């Protein structure tokens, strides 16, 4: 069974539209998993109302705990089949889901919905935001040795949810970049997508999230140790006693520091690549 994970934080105007649209574009045996971080609007009610009509599961977490950790939390529930991740805000059109899953069926481990391949359009973003996003992707790719045009994409399909469970350590990091930077053996394809800025609801992108992300990329580059991406000071925070145990917590803080030999570090740019 294929799954589609959708993280939500106050997306009541978008999530119902998106779920309906997904089932117009994918076969019905796909299961949608919405993972909500205590939205204060009607997001949860909208999803609950669709549970009887569609194959939709709602996972609830308490407090805002971060997009990447929400994705990982959901991935722990989806079993071994292939899985896609997409934003709830209708920026990612479900018509691309079959194309992403097709790449996985062809044998790739990861299929990235790429906004910056030739001929694609970004609708609704001002020029400076496109430049910032594109530039950040180029710099991160260069520093971390990841060869995809859009390593910051949040629209992706993966062969197995294990890649998400094993690869995501940061609560707020751009999870695709983290996965690609820490596992050089993944076979990666890109699927060109048009991207539409959200029409409803508010962006959750904050300055502190951006700064934390820059810090992570730079720390990794300075130490020249890909395992440095696997330490997260956020994870050392006291766990919320009311919150269902999120497996990413203890594993993050207990993660041993492993030195990567120089030879291994140098070989990585040869093995992470885009095919197809």
Ligand X SMILES: Nc1nc2c(ncn2[C@@H]2O[C@H](COP(=O)(O)OP(=O)(O)OP(=O)(O)O)[C@@H](O)[C@H]2O)c(=O)[nH]1
Kindly state the smallest distance separating residue 222's Cβ from Mg ion, in Å: 30
**What's the gap between Cα 59 and its chain centre?**
17
Q: What one-character DSSP code corresponds to residue 30?
A: -
246: contact with ligand X by CB under 6 A? no
* φ, ψ (nearest 5 deg) of residue 214: -60, -40
Contact window for Mg ion (CB under 5 A) among 16-24, 90-98, 241-249, 250-258: 90-98
**What's the gap between Cα 186 and its chain centre?**
16
* φ, ψ (nearest 5 deg) of residue 136: -60, -40
Site for ligand X, residues 14 to 53, rule: CB under 6 A: 35-37
End-to-end CA gap in the chain: 24
Q: Which of 31, 69, 91, 252 binds Mg ion (CB under 5 A)?
A: 91
Contact window for Mg ion (CB under 5 A) among 38-46, 91-99, 109-117, 130-138: 91-99
Contact window for ligand X (CB under 6 A) among 6-14, 102-110, 225-233, 247-255: 6-14
Q: Which of 4, 26, 67, 163 binds ligand X (CB under 6 A)?
A: 67
**Interatomic CA distance for residues 229 and 1, integer angstroms:** 31
How many residues are present in the chain?
A: 276
89: contact with Mg ion by CB under 5 A? yes
**Interatomic CA distance for residues 101 and 30, integer angstroms:** 11
70: contact with ligand X by CB under 6 A? yes
What torsion do the CA atoms of 181, 182, 187, 188 make, to the nearest 10 degrees? -30
Tokens of 68: 């990447």
**Count of residues in contact with Mg ion, rule CB under 5 A:** 3
149: partner contacted, choices ligand X, Mg ion, none (Cβ within 5-8 A by kind): none
Cα 150 to Cα 109, 171, 172, 188, 195, distances in angstroms: 16, 20, 17, 12, 12
**Count of residues in contact with ligand X, rule CB under 6 A:** 21
64: contact with ligand X by CB under 6 A? yes
Kindly state the smallest distance separating residue 37's Cβ from ligand X, in Å: 3
Kindly state the smallest distance separating residue 214's Cβ from ligand X, in Å: 15
Q: Are 275 and 189 in contact, with CB atoms under 8 Å apart?
A: yes
Q: Which of 4, 5, 8, 167 binds ligand X (CB under 6 A)?
A: 8
Q: How, if at all, do strands 156-158 and 110-114 pair?
A: antiparallel
Please, which residues bridge with residue 152 across strands? Answer: none
64: partner contacted, choices ligand X, Mg ion, none (Cβ within 5-8 A by kind): ligand X
Which position's Cβ is nearest ligand X? 203
Q: Which of 17, 198, 227, 265 binds ligand X (CB under 6 A)?
A: 198
205: contact with ligand X by CB under 6 A? yes
184: contact with Mg ion by CB under 5 A? no
Q: Are 145 and 266 in contact, with CB atoms under 8 Å apart?
A: no
Q: Which of 4, 5, 9, 229 binds ligand X (CB under 6 A)?
A: 9
- Which spans of this chain sit near Mg ion (rule: CB under 5 A)? 87, 89, 91
């Amino acid at each position: 069974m294929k799954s589609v994970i959708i993280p939500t934080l106050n997306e009541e105007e978008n999530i119902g539209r998106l779920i309906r649209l997904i089932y117009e574009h994918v076969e019905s045996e796909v299961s949608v998993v919405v993972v909500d971080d205590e939205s204060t609007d009607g997001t949860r009610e909208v999803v609950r109302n669709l549970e009887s009509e569609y194959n939709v599961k709602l996972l609830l977490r308490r407090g805002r705990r971060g997009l990447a950790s929400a994705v990982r939390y959901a991935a722990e529930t989806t079993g071994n089949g292939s899985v896609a991740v997409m934003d709830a805000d209708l920026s990612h059109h479900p018509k691309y889901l079959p194309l992403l899953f097709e790449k996985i069926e062809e044998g790739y481990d990861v299929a990235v919905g790429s906004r910056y391949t030739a001929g694609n359009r970004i609708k609704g973003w001002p020029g400076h935001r496109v430049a910032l996003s594109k530039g950040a992707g180029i710099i991160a790719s260069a520093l971390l040795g990841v060869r995809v045009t859009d390593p910051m994409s949040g629209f992706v399909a993966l062969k197995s949810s294990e890649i998400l469970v094993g690869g995501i350590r940061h609560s707020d990091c751009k999870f695709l970049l983290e996965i690609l930077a820490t596992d050089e053996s993944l076979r990666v394809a890109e699927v060109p997508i048009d991207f539409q800025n959200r029409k409803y609801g508010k962006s959750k992108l904050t300055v502190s999230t951006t700064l934390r992300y820059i810090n992570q990329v730079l720390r990794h580059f300075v130490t020249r140790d890909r395992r440095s991406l696997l330490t997260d000071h956020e994870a050392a925070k006291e766990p919320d006693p009311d919150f269902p145990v999120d497996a990413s917590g203890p594993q993050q803080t207990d993660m041993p520091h492993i030195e990567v030999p120089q030879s291994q570090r140098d070989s990585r740019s040869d093995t992470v690549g885009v095919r197809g």
